[in-house]
């Protein structure tokens, strides 16, 4: 399989009145063409920041300290972080090559413009279509994502649609220019369980139909089981384990991944909406990152004198299974 996106050593800080927040601290992952990568982790571990950093649309108090985001466009490799973040080149990639959907479809749409207006905006921007054709295209994509009476719905305002319909419209907007990669930041978290399943089905269908890749971000490991091919587990701004979905569920290596899996009793049961809150201890805050392995204060296999001193690197322990844990690093390194 050929690579579509590589993120290497991504490091993002935020400057706040209380000090510097080290939200993302050297994240690595890859996505292949036509693959679904799931990024899972507790609230605040830096998933959203990672996703927004890919398109370089972070908040204005952010600073990308380090890292590369390499996008493979045909045979060309483009480091998205090297492009001017307000410039033309990156704007040609946003929405056209890589698009994004968000957790809250209500606030992610402008309340004072019609859904159609907002979908057509991307189409008019990235294709040569005129207004009439763009409208046709918007209608057909709305139909494709399962919005009934798309002909008239297109002129609705976001608040006139139900939550599920809004998220479908959001997906339609993201897919309107047939991107190669869809970044989905908790697309089902705000929806109720039956709608969640429908939206995940829709995303899977769309992936097949458009032959695109998806990065889906969630704190719900049930969602990962549903849709992901490859999984990256994040903890406090770092990826601690990356493996195929089967390896994650049947052969998890990192103590954190194991704890995550234990925290939900029935992972095979579909549509399970369980938050990962029942791991011992609390998440340290991003202002005071613990030394060594950041998970050491909650870890069941904590090795005193090592885990609190040495920061483990993400290493490959078997083909396409990487883990960052001293249990798997040779002693004396």
Partner 1 sequence: MVPTILVLSIVVFVIIQLPPGDWLTSYVAGMRAAGDEVSPERIDILRERYGFDQPMHVKYFKWITGIFRGDFGFSFSWNKPVGELIWSRMGLTLLVSISTLIFTWIVSFAIGLYSATHQYSIGDYLATFIGFIGLATPNFMLALILMYLSFEFFGYSISGLFSYEYANAPWSIAKLIDLLKHLWIPIIVSGTAGTAGLIRILRANLLDELGKPYVVTAKTKGVSNLKILFKYPVRIALIPFISTVGWTFASLISGSVITAIVLNLPTAGPMLLQALKTQDMYLAGSFIFFLSILTVIGTLVSDILLAIVDPRIRYK
Ligand X SMILES: Nc1ncnc2c1ncn2[C@@H]1O[C@H](COP(=O)(O)OP(=O)(O)OP(=O)(O)O)[C@@H](O)[C@H]1O
Which residues make up the interface to partner 1 (CB under 8 A)?
A: 52, 55, 57, 59, 86, 91-96, 99-100, 102, 104, 107-114, 118, 121-122, 125-126, 157, 159-160, 173, 183
Centroid of chain to Cα 169: 19
CB 14 within 8 A of CB 21: yes
What is the crossing angle of helices 163-175 and 193-210, to 10°? 20
C-beta closer to ligand X: residue 34 or 66: 66
Per partner kind, with CB cut-offs from 5 to 8 A, the member of Mg ion, partner 1, ligand X, none near residue 43 is: ligand X
Residue whose entry in the numeric block shows the structure tokens 């078997």: 318
Per partner kind, with CB cut-offs from 5 to 8 A, the member of ligand X, Mg ion, partner 1, none near residue 286 is: ligand X
Of 7, 27, 37, 45, the residue at the interface with ligand X (CB under 6 A) is 45
Q: How far is the CB of 234 from Mg ion (least distance, A)?
A: 11
C-beta closer to partner 1: residue 100 or 147: 100
Say how far apart CA 209 and CA 203 lie, in whole Å. 10
Site for ligand X in 170-209 (CB under 6 A): none
Per partner kind, with CB cut-offs from 5 to 8 A, the member of ligand X, partner 1, Mg ion, none near residue 44 is: ligand X
C-beta closer to ligand X: residue 21 or 206: 21
CB 247 within 8 A of CB 261: no
Say how far apart CA 304 and CA 309 lie, in whole Å. 9
Per partner kind, with CB cut-offs from 5 to 8 A, the member of ligand X, partner 1, Mg ion, none near residue 45 is: ligand X
User: Binding of ligand X at residue 219 (CB under 6 A)?
Assistant: yes
User: Binding of ligand X at residue 46 (CB under 6 A)?
Assistant: yes
CB 231 within 8 A of CB 199: no
The residue count for the chain: 333
C-beta closer to Mg ion: residue 134 or 183: 183
Applying CB under 5 A, the residues found at the interface with Mg ion are: 48
Per partner kind, with CB cut-offs from 5 to 8 A, the member of ligand X, Mg ion, partner 1, none near residue 109 is: partner 1
User: Binding of ligand X at residue 286 (CB under 6 A)?
Assistant: yes
Say how far apart CA 296 and CA 281 lie, in whole Å. 11
Q: How far is the CB of 40 from ligand X (least distance, A)?
A: 10
Q: Return all residues near 241 (Cβ < 8 A) that are at least 6 apart.
A: 231, 232, 233, 248, 252, 253, 254, 256, 257, 322, 323, 324, 325
CB 301 within 8 A of CB 258: no
User: Binding of ligand X at residue 240 (CB under 6 A)?
Assistant: no
3-state secondary structure of 25: strand
Residues lying near ligand X in the complex (CB under 6 A) are found at 14, 16, 21, 23, 41, 43-49, 59, 61, 219, 286
């Amino acid at each position: 399989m050929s690579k579509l996106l590589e993120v290497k050593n991504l490091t993002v800080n935020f400057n706040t009145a209380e000090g510097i927040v080290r939200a993302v601290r050297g994240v690595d992952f890859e996505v292949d063409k036509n693959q679904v990568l799931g990024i899972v982790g507790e609230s605040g571990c830096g998933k959203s920041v990672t996703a927004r950093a890919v398109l370089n649309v972070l908040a204005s108090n952010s600073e990308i300290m380090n890292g590369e985001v390499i996008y493979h466009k045909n045979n060309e490799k483009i480091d998205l972080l090297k492009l001017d973040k307000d410039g033309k080149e990156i704007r040609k990639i946003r929405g056209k090559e890589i698009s994004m959907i968000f957790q809250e479809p209500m606030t992610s749409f402008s309340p004072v413009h019609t859904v159609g207006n907002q979908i057509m905006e991307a189409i008019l921007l990235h294709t040569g279509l005129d207004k009439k054709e763009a409208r046709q295209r918007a209608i057909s994509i709305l139909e494709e994502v399962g919005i009934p009476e798309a002909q008239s719905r297109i002129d609705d305002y976001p608040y006139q649609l139900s939550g599920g319909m809004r998220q479908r419209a959001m997906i339609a907007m993201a897919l309107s220019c047939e991107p190669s990669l869809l970044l989905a930041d908790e697309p089902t978290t705000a929806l109720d369980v039956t709608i969640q399943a429908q939206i995940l089905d829709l995303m899977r269908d769309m992936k097949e139909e458009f032959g695109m890749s998806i990065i889906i971000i969630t704190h719900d490991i049930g969602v990962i089981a549903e849709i992901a091919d490859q999984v990256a587990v994040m903890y406090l701004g770092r990826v601690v384990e990356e493996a195929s979905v089967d390896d994650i569920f049947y052969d998890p290596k990192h103590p954190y991944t194991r704890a995550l899996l234990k925290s939900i009793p029935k992972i095979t049961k579909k549509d399970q909406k369980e938050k990962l809150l029942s791991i011992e201890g609390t998440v340290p805050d991003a202002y005071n990152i613990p030394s060594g392995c950041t998970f050491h204060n909650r870890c069941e296999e904590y090795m005193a004198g090592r885990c609190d001193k040495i920061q483990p690197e993400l290493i490959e322990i078997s083909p396409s299974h990487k883990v960052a844990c001293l249990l798997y690093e040779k002693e004396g390194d």
